[in-house]
Amino acid sequence: MRIVWRGLLHVTQGVDPFANVDVTAYQITIDQWDKLSAKFDPKHMDIWQWEYLKYMFFLVDTSGDKKIDVKEYKSVMAIYGMSESDAVKAFEKFAVDDHGKKTDSVDYGGFVKLWNDYFCSTDKNKPGSYLFGPW
């Protein structure tokens, strides 16, 4: 997460990511996050963005089998305050193959696609739109 935080500080506030500074003294506003998210380009991600994506995948893949299933998703999303029923609804919406058929897990490649949809798509019906909740 150190790489992610330093990358965020660099692009939002110009902090040198290699400087010996106390990065805990900084904050990022919702407005800064929104502006950053609006400029997200999956074809040109900074290293911190790749690290954030990997961090989130492996955070949810609690078994370490390189797949996210509904049980893992529910348990991790509960930490963030999502109800079990909302987690199941979200998982059912995004855990689909390229043809829209439901799957029982999402691998890393599928997660990357979902991540890109979440940050880039304006289509609320894209599976990635539900990556962090059924809303």
Q: What is the pLDDT of residues 36-72, one digit of tens each?
A: 888 889 999 899 999 999 999 999 999 999 999 999 9
User: In whole angstroms, what is the distance from residue 16 CA to residue 34 CA?
Assistant: 21
* Residue 11 and residue 36 in contact, taking contact as beta carbons nearer than 8 Å: yes
* Residue 128 and residue 115 in contact, taking contact as beta carbons nearer than 8 Å: yes
Which residues make Cβ contacts (< 8 Å) with residue 18, sequence separation at least 6? none
The pLDDT-based confidence of 4 (bands split at 50, 70, 90) is: very high
Tokens of 46: 């900074």
Kindly provide the b/e burial profile for residues 110-133, where b requires at least 16 CB atoms within 10 angstroms of the residue's own CB: bbbbbbbbbbbeeeeebbbbbbee
Paired with 107 in beta bridges are 67
Q: What pTM does this model have?
A: 0.85
Extents of the domains making up the chain: 1-39, 48-135
CATH dotted code for 48-135: 1.10.238.10
Which residues make Cβ contacts (< 8 Å) with residue 3, sequence separation at least 6? 17, 47, 48, 51
The whole-number pLDDT of residue 53 equals 95
